[in-house]
Chains A and B, each alone.
Chain A
Amino acid sequence: MMSLLEIRGLSVALPLPSGALHAVRDVDLTLDRGQSIGIVGESGSGKSMTALALMRLLPRGARSTASRLEFDGIDLGALEDSAFAREIAGPRIGMIFQEPMTSLNPVYTIGRQMTEAAVSRGLLSTSVARKKALHLLDRVGIPDPQMRLGQFPHQMSGGQRQRVMIAMTLMLDPELLIADEPTTALDVTVQAQILDLLDDLRRERDMALILISHDLAVVAERTDTVAVMYGGEMIEWGIADDVLHAPAHPYTQALLHAIPQVGATPSRLAAIPGTVPSLMRAPKGCVFAPRCEHRREDCVASRPPLRAGMRDHAWRCMLKAPPQTSREMEPLHGHGAAEDADIVLAARDITQVFTTRKALFAPKRDITALKGVSLELHRGETLALIGESGSGKSTLARILLGLAQPTSGKVTMLGRPIVELSPIERASFVQPVFQDPYSSLNPRRRLSEIIARPLWLRGDRNAATRDAAVAEAMDLVRLPKRLLHAFPSQLSGGQRQRVAIARALVTRPRALVCDEPTSALDVSVQAQILNLIDDLRAGMGLTCLIITHDMAVVHQVADRVAVMLEGRIVEEGPARRVLTAPESDYTRRLVAAAPRFEANFLQPEVAQ
């Protein structure tokens, strides 16, 4: 049988001022009609670039080459750009993107954007196109489609817009749908619904699907085959079960060990040391070699050969046989709060009402973000606060940090009301760690200044003691001394997050409030930070409130969990109990929607 899509030797180079960046190198991909493939990789692995190259949507100046590029027997390489746009992009290959909030044109109605491609091609008349749009909106689960057709994108939520995007690509009945991180910007429960919808539609229409994601778990559950990309190369591919349960490439193995598993007993994660490689020059040897624990001398000297396993399982590695994955589970170092530990931070009956108005003289509107929330944080424990966007969890964090005043209710630190504390006293009680390591450090200051700043604000005017405290804090978060005078722009995302933690710890506060501390990081780097938090719990009895949407993170680090929904705490209890036997409906849905997979490793079979 002829494949629907066949790619051989696809490479993409981006011109940068400092030279060409090899975003994708020598990628092969085969996809049959009605089949689905998941492409997985961390940031910079080239997974999106591969799809953009196929759709001819690469940034200006980027060059892509392939030895073979065939879609349904058509040689795409020989096709003029205008013919590709008319005959392939849209009617035969559709694509949806990560950002539903910005992927629709804000100034035109949903109806116009849905129908225009079919109408302008002369495929459908306006009235038939509208009928089809109505039908498809209904199919993707948009209530009252008739009204929605006349609405504008800003009148819909993110999940609804992603549904509209899907319906829009289906207007032309493509045979292949490419979904580039379609749910990354969405909440967990919405994410599950959208992924299920994509899966259903694929089966219904016998449509091929390329699902691109940074999240192995998202892909694992829903695609027939999986391809793993690293550093611009496809390093392993095969049937989803084989790749996920019997990974053969050391990178895939390491990645799977780095992901916290919701089901198992929490244990230390196997973080991959180092960072993603530079793609400015093609390595002579294996692209993963610098971070590989099985590295041999020939790994850096020449390109690894293609190894074949059973059932089309293939990988690129120097090792003849896949390394044995005999990793013993190391238990977590940290431990929870002692019985009857005192309460470090407490919130009593917090209500927060925001009054907003859209314009200078527009009428006021009240939005209640928090409705009578109470919470206690005991010394030495890690409490996870989970909830979806808009649940009020970040508002609560700001109030606990003293960055915002609640409308009513009170916050106490070791029994003292926060309102009676001076800003400096408050700072010595509780410190924040934020989500985005790219905005949490002042780009104009050196690391030494950033970490020492809280000390200076506290009134430490002795430079020598400040330097000593900075050195100690950097030690604590495992930041090398040579970075002392570096600027944030010289650091990787994981290193920046370490700096943020060092700054938070330098004054030795009683508690940390971490707002999504790992959700902007790649899986392998997330593992480093989660292990660091575990170390700090063990080493200094860290008391910590972690705000997150990720069940796996909760499972990995939390002693207790509080679940928030629409400004209220709907469930609270020990982490183990809440994750395995949730009591409230909402928590049950949340736990069920969390993407997961069982990583019980088997030894891959090797074809001789």
Chain B
Amino acid sequence: MLRYIAMRGLLAVLVAFTVSLATFFLLNVATDPAQAIAGEDAPPEVVESIRTRYGLDRPLPVRYADWLGGVVTGDFGESYYWHKPVAALVADRADKTITLALSALAVTILIAIPLGALAALNPNSWIDRFALGVAVSAQAVPNFWLGLIVIILFAVTIPIFPVSGDDSWRHYVLPAFVLGASSVPAVMRLTRTGLIEVMSADYIRTARAKGFRGWQLLRRHALRNALLPVISVLAVQLGQKFGGSVITESIFAINGLGRLALESILGADIPTVQMLIFVFAIVFVAMNLLADILNAALDPRIRIG
């Protein structure tokens, strides 16, 4: 068990390192950061002076090593755009995005898991068709458009919730719904297929032969088995919520990491973009590690090899 977790942890660190390497080179090769800071019309001398001042004249591997050394001590460099340490910028805004992502995940769980379970227990019934309809539609609705429609509805037709801002929990209801809706199809389908698969497993037939039916059968024999893959997909979805916050936060004017990401991209603020991609990747990797550990704790086949 410990060995398993240690291996997973090592893999997570390797992934994080690879991601940072890929991001750094992609962002720095494709563009000239000095030119970006100076602006497009800046005279060459200015660009050159900026290049020397920010150390951008050094070779790429050296700059990466430098950046990585900074990361280890929590120093992600200085923002070209806001002229503040990137780490401070991110720390300032992180809480809003975490709130948004977690409440979106709650929305996903509340809609997708009961719907998927009901559909699985009544295959080809009206509820199954309804669940499939929800999944197919939710998959086809552009997320940003759903956001705008929700705003139009709740600003004009029934003004219950505030349409933008981030001051109270009421501000998070609509964005959490919009962001959460995007994960409903994947989680719903997985819950449904997982549970159908489990319910047709031989060991469920054994339990039925022992006289277990209905809720007892579900609780005693199906739930834990069906839950295992759902835990993994929820981890993936939560990881993706952070990346997905870009759209939701910009539509609902939430001053979180997603909005910061959009602003720094449009401002060619490479250090900030770099750190955000890195942080989102770390979150994703950490969530998956957590899911692996949970799975191992719940599944003796992993725990006791």
Contact = CB atoms under 8 A, between A and B. Distances in A.
A165 B213 contact: no
Nearest to B227: A107
Interface residues of B, number: 30
Interface in A72-131: 81-82, 85-86, 88-91, 94-95, 97, 99, 102-109, 116-117, 120-121
Interface string B90-134: 000000000000000000000000000000000100000000000
Greatest chain B CB density within 10 A among A91, A103, A104, A152 is at A103
A57 B208 contact: yes
B301 A154 contact: yes
A71 to B, nearest CB: 14
A81 B217 CA distance: 14
Interface in B204-218: 205-214, 216
Contact of B209 (A57, A99, A109, A358): A57
A104 B10 CA distance: 34
A512 B286 CA distance: 54
Give the interface SS of chain A, mostly helix, strand, loop or mixed.
Answer: loop
A152 B300 contact: yes
B212 A85 contact: yes
A105 B213 contact: no
Contact of A117 (B7, B202, B212): B212
Contact of B225 (A82, A95, A107): A107
B304 interface: yes
A60 B206 CA distance: 16
A355 interface: no
A90 B298 CA distance: 28
A105 B225 contact: yes
B224 interface: yes
Interface string A188-213: 00000000000000000000000000
Interface in B247-305: 298-301, 304-305
Nearest to B123: A60
B304 A152 contact: yes
Nearest to A120: B216
A49 to B, nearest CB: 13
A336 B11 CA distance: 59
A155 B209 CA distance: 23
B54 interface: no
Contact of B4 (A60, A86, A94, A359): A359
Interface in B168-204: 201-203
A464 interface: no
A82 B202 CA distance: 21
B211 A86 contact: yes
Contact of B210 (A90, A99, A152): A90
A55 B216 CA distance: 18
A165 B206 CA distance: 9
A103 B208 CA distance: 11
B84 interface: no
A89 B221 contact: no
A154 B300 contact: yes
Interface string A338-369: 00000000000000000000111110000000
A21 B190 CA distance: 31
B211 A103 contact: no
B208 A89 contact: yes
Interface in A279-334: none
A121 B221 CA distance: 16
Contacts of B208: 55, 57, 85, 89
A362 B3 CA distance: 8
Given A85-B212, A90-B211, A121-B211, A107 B300 contact: yes
B210 A89 contact: yes
Given A107-B299, A107-B300, A102 B210 contact: no
A103 B304 contact: no
A97 B206 contact: yes
B206 A359 contact: no
Given A97-B202, A99-B202, A359-B7, A105 B209 contact: no
Contacts of A107: 224-225, 298-301
B211 A85 contact: yes
A90 B225 CA distance: 23
Interface string A548-560: 0000000000000
Contacts of A97: 202, 205-206, 209
Given A99-B202, A103-B203, A107-B299, A94 B209 contact: yes
Interface string A121-158: 10000000000000000000000000000001011000
Contacts of A81: 213
B206 A155 contact: no
A117 B227 CA distance: 23
A103 B205 CA distance: 8
Greatest chain B CB density within 10 A among A85, A94, A120, A154 is at A85
A89 B7 contact: no
Greatest chain B CB density within 10 A among A89, A109, A360 is at A89
Contact of A103 (B123, B202, B212, B299): B202
A147 B212 CA distance: 26
Given A107-B299, A121-B211, A57 B205 contact: yes
Contacts of B201: 102
Given A358-B305, A361-B7, A105 B203 contact: yes
B213 A85 contact: yes
A168 B11 CA distance: 42
Contacts of B11: 360
A99 B203 CA distance: 10
B301 A152 contact: yes
A590 B18 CA distance: 57
Contact of B206 (A86, A103, A121, A361): A103
A324 to B, nearest CB: 44
Nearest to A90: B211
A86 B211 CA distance: 6
Contacts of A102: 201-203
Nearest to A88: B211
A361 B4 CA distance: 9
5 A-B pairs with the lowest CB-CB distances in the bound complex, closest first = A90-B211, A102-B202, A105-B203, A89-B211, A117-B210
Interface of B: 3-4, 7, 10-11, 123, 201-203, 205-214, 216, 220-221, 224-225, 298-301, 304-305
Given A106-B225, A168-B206, 13 more contacts: A57-B208, A85-B208, A85-B213, A88-B211, A97-B205, A97-B209, A102-B203, A103-B205, A105-B203, A105-B225, A106-B203, A106-B300, A169-B210
